[in-house]
Amino acid sequence: MLEATSVLHATNYFGPVFFYFTLKKAQSVYIDQHEHFIRQTYRNRCLIQGANGVLPLTVPVEKGRSPQQKIRDIRIAYHIPWQRNHWRSIVSAYKNSPFFDDYQPDIEHYFTKEFKFLFDLNLSIMDTMCQLLNLKGDIILTKDFEKTDGEFVNFRTFLSPKIPIEKIAPWYMPVEYTQVFEDKFPFMPGLSILDLLFCVGPGALGYLGQEIPGKT
């Protein structure tokens, strides 16, 4: 069962709720810092719920890099005002959520401070999210590509905005919570941890601690 398992993930930008679920439930979580960058993934993209449905927010990266460049060395591009655009989208989506004001100071600075490397931005975000969620899991950076201590469940390749979570982890059944636009849309799983944080607040840790359906 997942509670006794090590899992491997790619780095992620305000990653999905499922990522933080594994941080809560797994024995150890490895982040691969030696893999190659893959576009259109959670590595530089998150999904929030906007007034018109799911809205992807993507961090642009510098062009001209080697196809074999490690994720650790990917530089963020600032030729477009993506930070301003992301923050405006987040405020528009969640300004009326129950806990937006509580967490705004902890999150807004990520849209004013410039990080040189994507990996460093993501690690800092993950650290902040873990503090806000009071998550104290064992998070380890790999020493080499997919190199961990012992066996692990590999979510690095499969956890993607393009793949429904039920295909990645069929045993995982998200517990619904009240989302901002519930009057317009059915419950949307797979959104950024920001959605859970702004909508549930201090109760988010309990949500992440839900037992795995069908597991004992």
pLDDT, tens only, 22-35: 999 888 899 999 99
Residue 18 lies in a domain: yes
Residue 214 lies in a domain: no
Q: What is the pLDDT of residues 124-156, one digit of tens each?
A: 999 999 999 999 878 999 988 766 666 788 898
**Confidence (pLDDT) at 143:** 87
Characterize 40-69 residue by residue with b for buried, 16 or more Cβ atoms within 10 angstroms of its Cβ, and e for exposed.
ebbbbbbbbbbeeeebebebebeeeeeeee
CA nearest 22: which of 150, 189, 169? 169
Residue 216 lies in a domain: no
Q: Which residues pair with 70 in a beta bridge?
A: 36
* Residues in CB range of 211: below 8 A, 6 or more apart: none
How confident is the model over 53-76, as a mean pLDDT?
89
CA nearest 23: which of 127, 106, 124, 108? 127
Residue 215 lies in a domain: no
Q: Which domain holds residue 175?
A: 2-208
Query: 6 — phi, psi (to 5°)?
Result: -90, 140
Which amino acid, one-letter code, is at 61?
V
How confident is the model over 166-184, as a mean pLDDT?
89
Residue 42 lies in a domain: yes
* Residues in CB range of 106: below 8 A, 6 or more apart: 128, 132
What one-character DSSP code corresponds to residue 75?
A: B
Provide the number of structural domains found in the chain.
1
Residue 50 lies in a domain: yes
In three-state secondary structure terms, 199 is helix
Residue 108 lies in a domain: yes
Query: 135 — phi, psi (to 5°)?
Result: -90, 130
Identify the weakest region by mean pLDDT among 36-50, 72-86, 166-180: 166-180
Residue 34 lies in a domain: yes
